Every structure is written in structure tokens, then in C-alpha cells.
Structure 1
Amino acid sequence: MAKISALVLKPERDFAAKSVPSDPQGIQKYVGGSPIMTRLVDGIVVVSNENATENDPLNFTIFQRHNDHVHELGKLHGDAVFAAESDKGLTSLDKDQKQTVKDWFQFGRDKLLLNE
């Protein structure tokens, strides 16, 4: 099974760069349950547990800035894996994409802010 370079984020911990399987089902080892892929921006996706509930630890809340207003898009409970996506499926995050993901958390570890 092919591996990719991704960022793994566990609740209340810092990012860990890891080599993970290149398919969402292989990433299940990291997120548990049923993996679901959510497309963010700039070709970056986050894979998380579709079955996570409010009883699981809160990882972060996703916000989006639009027309100078900030809107909550949702809360992500449990572990998360950030990877890149291309027409070939999941791929490694490059250096700039890793920095982009880290920049999304500029207002605190629990707040991911996407710009328009």
C-alpha cells in the first residue's frame, strides 16, 4: 500500500507529521470508525471519523471568513488527518500546504479559520 506524508492532529495536541496510507480506508487506523473526507481549499482535505459524536473529544471548530464575516461551519470531534488531493486520489502535503494548514489555526489550537 502506498504511503503519503500527512499531518495528524489529535485533540488538544500539536500536529504530527506522519507517513500514512494513501487511501481513506487505510487512514482509518488514525481516525477510527468510518473515515470521511472533507475538501477544504487549495487541494487540501481532512479525513476524520464520520461516526464521531459530541461524546468524543472536540478537536477543532471550522470557521470560514466571507465578506468580513466569520461563520461557523461545524465541529470536528476525534482525530483528523490532513492530506492533499489530486485526480489520482490522496497525495502528500507539500511544504507550503503543511504551512497553510498550520496557518489555519492562527487564532488557537481549537479554531480552524478558512478564508473565502
Structure 2
Amino acid sequence: MAKISALVLKPERDFQAKSVPADPQGIQKFVGGSPIMTRLTDGIVVVSNENATEEDPLNFTIFQRHHDHVHELGKLYSDAVFAAESDQGLTSLDKDQKQLVKNWFQFGRDKLLLDE
């Protein structure tokens, strides 16, 4: 099974660079439940547990800055895996993409902020 380099983010923990399976079903062992892929920006996706609920630990809240306003897009519970996406499916994050993901959390571990 092919592996990719991704960032794994568990609730209340720091990022960990890990080698994970290159398909959402293989990533299920990291996120549990039913994996769902959400496209962010710059070819980066986050894979999380579609079945996670408010009873699971809150991982982070996603916000988007639109002009001078910041809007909450939603909360992500349980574990998350950040990877890149290409025509071939999930691929490894490069060094710049890993830094970009970390920069999205500039206001704290629990707040992911995307610019429009």
C-alpha cells in the first residue's frame, strides 16, 4: 500500500508528521469512523471522521477571513489528517504546504483561519 507524508492533528496536541496510507479508507485507522475529505486551499485537504459528534473531543474550529470579516465555517471533532491532493488522489505535503497548514493556526491551536 502506498504511503504519503501528512500532518496528523489530534485534539489538544501538536502536529505530528506521519507516514499515512495514500487513500481515505487507509487513513481511517488515524481518524476512525467514516473518513470524509474536505478541500481547503492550495491543494490541501483535511481528512476527518464524518461520524464525529460534539461528544467527541473538539479538535479545532475553522474560520475564513473574507475582506475584513471573519466567519466561522464549522467545528472539527476528533482526529484530522492534512494531506495534499492532485489528479492522482492524495499525495504528500511538501515543506511549504506543511508550513502553510501550521500558519493557518496562527491564532492558537484550536483556531484554523483560512484567507479567502
TM-score, length of structure 1 as denominator length? 1.00
Q: Per-residue deviation at 1:65?
A: 0.1
Give 5+ residue unaligned stretches, structure 2: none
2:37: which partner in 1? Answer: 37
Structure 1 outlier segments of 4+, above 6 Å:
none
Structure 1 position 76, deviation (Å) = 0.0
Q: Residue 114 of structure 2 corresponds to which residue in structure 1? A: 114
1:11 equivalent in alignment to 2:11: yes
Q: Deviations over 1:41-79 (max 9, x none)?
A: 000000000000000000000000001100000000000
Structure 1: how far apart are the matches of 2:109 and 2:36? 22
CA distance in 2, matches of 1:66, 1:42: 17
Residue segments in structure 1 that go unaligned for 5+ positions in a row? none
Identity across the alignment (%):
90
RMSD over aligned Cα atoms:
0.2
Match of 2:28 in 1: 28
What is the number of equivalent residue pairs in this alignment? 116
Distance, in Å, in 1 between the alignment partners of 2:109 and 2:45 is 18
Taking structure 2 as the reference length, the TM-score comes to 1.00
Name 1:90's counterpart in structure 2.
90
Say which SS state the counterpart of residue 27 (structure 1) adopts.
helix
Q: Which residue of 2 aligns with 1:81?
A: 81
